[in-house]
Amino acid sequence: MPSAARQWLWIGGAAVVVIAVVAAVALWLPNRPNGPDGRHIVERKSAAQAFPGGLARQPANENQPGMRESAARQDGEQDTADRIAVIADQPIATWLTNPSVTQTRETVRDVVSNARKQDRTPVFVLYNVPDRDCGHYSKGGTTASEYVPWVRSAVRAMAGSKAVVLVEPDAIAQIQVCKRLQDSRLPLLRKAVDALTGHGLTVYLDGGNENRVPTASMAKWLREAGIDETQGFFTNVSNFYRVDQERAYADRLADAVGGDPHFVIDVSRNGQGWRGDWCNPKGAGLGQDPHVTAGSSRLDALLWVKTPGLSDGTCNGGPAAGQWWESYALALVENRKGD
């Protein structure tokens, strides 16, 4: 049997190991502080950290308004081109909707390379979730088995770029009216968040918009979708509510979620506020120019997420969802919000 001295020596050595482990954990925990209900929550970035260098403009071959502007100039339609340039010259998010892994990677790499030349932050929108739009105007998406591999492939192309990624507009809010999504949607989004985590990206989840889903329900769903591992959520995507309204809603939602999530707001078409319809409403106008905030609140940025001029669907005289609708684009410019 070991002597008493050896026993105390062994106990002392074990104690040193325990202390070292505790110290290491203590160093790690500040980046994952305990939130409400004992949840571990990532430390949120400042607005400047989330969008280093500001917002990048799209490359020419991804900028749909820019391509139409160029065509108009070539056809001698200078007035039309000048008006479309009001849209094309702004930083606009790039939507990833193609189920092809190869083509999606090519798009991501093109946008990332272009943003790097500007020394600014690219913004991507993942919009390929299974049963997208619950079969309505923007229906489509991958299958359940394809979705997470598709996300992982896009992430590999984005890794290290410091890109901002908005995960699946409507994907959470639509659960309120599309009950068949209740069981499958949130676990799938949680897997997407897991795939996006740890690659130097800034991630926001779907926060819907005011007057759509009860705040308590949306907060619960955001937690289930993995918001504790993200920067926060986005609101008003492809919608028309004013900034003051959306900001008040987003602050209430952030309080309900707990853990101080940040948010961004889509202002691409909200210059005239809510027009009584979400689908190609008449009288809508461009919102204020997209920009990163000073970072004095949880609002990180006002973005142009929806590309102004693309139809919401075959409603109010519009073409298919996602198609360029020139008369509507020109009306948005005509009705734009003044500075």
Q: What is the pLDDT of residues 9-60, one digit of tens each?
A: 444 444 444 344 334 433 333 444 555 578 999 999 999 999 999 999 999 9
| Residue 331 DSSP SS3 | helix
The pLDDT assigned to 101 comes to: 97
H helices present in the chain, as ranges = 4-28, 47-50, 64-74, 78-88, 101-118, 144-158, 185-196, 215-224, 243-257, 326-334
Q: Is residue 93 part of a domain?
A: yes
CB-CB neighbours of 325 under 10 Å: 18
- Per the DSSP assignment, residues forming a β-bridge with 301 are 264, 292
Judge whether residue 76 has pLDDT over 60: yes
Is 177 in contact with 212 (CB distance < 8 Å)? Answer: no
Q: Is residue 45 part of a domain?
A: no
Burial of residue 180 (number of CB atoms within 10 Å: 0-12, 13-18, 19+): exposed
Q: What integer best gives the mean pLDDT of the chain? A: 91
Percent of the chain with pLDDT over 70: 89
More confident residue, 16 or 273: 273
Give the whole-angstrom CA distance, residue 57 versus residue 235.
21
Task: State the average pLDDT over residues 71-99.
Answer: 97
Is 112 in contact with 163 (CB distance < 8 Å)? Answer: yes
Let me know if 194 is a catalytic residue. Answer: no
CATH number at residue 67: 3.20.20.40
Give the whole-angstrom CA distance, residue 18 versus residue 167.
40
Length of the chain: 339
Task: State the average pLDDT over residues 97-114.
Answer: 98
Q: At what angle do helices 185-196 and 215-224 cross, to 10 degrees?
A: 50
Task: State the average pLDDT over residues 84-106.
Answer: 98
Token pair 């020109």 in the structure block, residue: 330
The pLDDT assigned to 314 comes to: 95
Burial of residue 249 (number of CB atoms within 10 Å: 0-12, 13-18, 19+): buried
The pLDDT assigned to 22 comes to: 37
CB-CB neighbours of 198 under 10 Å: 10
- Per the DSSP assignment, residues forming a β-bridge with 124 are 94, 165
Is 311 in contact with 277 (CB distance < 8 Å)? Answer: no
Closest CA to 56 of 15, 113, 14: 113
The pLDDT assigned to 24 comes to: 40
Amino acid of residue 104:
T
> Catalytic residue among 131, 228, 300, 312, which?
312
The pLDDT assigned to 38 comes to: 83
Let me know if 339 is a catalytic residue. Answer: no
Number of domains into which the chain is organized: 1
pLDDT tens digits along 258-269: 999 999 999 999
Q: Is residue 19 part of a domain?
A: no
Task: State the average pLDDT over residues 200-213.
Answer: 97
> Catalytic residue among 110, 131, 133, 300, which?
133
The pLDDT assigned to 206 comes to: 98
> Catalytic residue among 170, 206, 228, 300, which?
170
Is 299 in contact with 249 (CB distance < 8 Å)? Answer: no
Q: Which two tokens stand for residue 301?
A: 């940025």
- Per the DSSP assignment, residues forming a β-bridge with 125 are 95, 166
Is 308 in contact with 329 (CB distance < 8 Å)? Answer: yes
pTM greater than 0.85 (yes/no)? yes
Structural domain of 91? 53-334
Task: State the average pLDDT over residues 50-78.
Answer: 97
The pLDDT assigned to 47 comes to: 98
Amino acid of residue 164:
V
More confident residue, 38 or 312: 312
Q: Is residue 36 part of a domain?
A: no
The pLDDT assigned to 338 comes to: 61
- Per the DSSP assignment, residues forming a β-bridge with 94 are 124
- Per the DSSP assignment, residues forming a β-bridge with 205 are 167, 233
Q: What confidence tier does 337 reach under pLDDT thresholds 50, 70, 90?
A: confident
Q: CA 308 → CA 116, 123, 183, 264, distances in Å?
A: 24, 16, 33, 17
Q: CA 110 → CA 93, 139, 280, 300, distances in Å?
A: 13, 26, 30, 25
The pLDDT assigned to 270 comes to: 97
Let me know if 300 is a catalytic residue. Answer: no
Q: Please name the helix (run of DSSP H) or strand (run of DSSP E) that holds residue 258, with its range, or none.
A: none
Is 273 in contact with 242 (CB distance < 8 Å)? Answer: yes
The pLDDT assigned to 35 comes to: 58
Q: CA 226 → CA 51, 189, 229, 294, distances in Å?
A: 21, 8, 6, 27
CA 178 from centroid of its chain's CA atoms: 21
Task: State the average pLDDT over residues 65-74.
Answer: 97
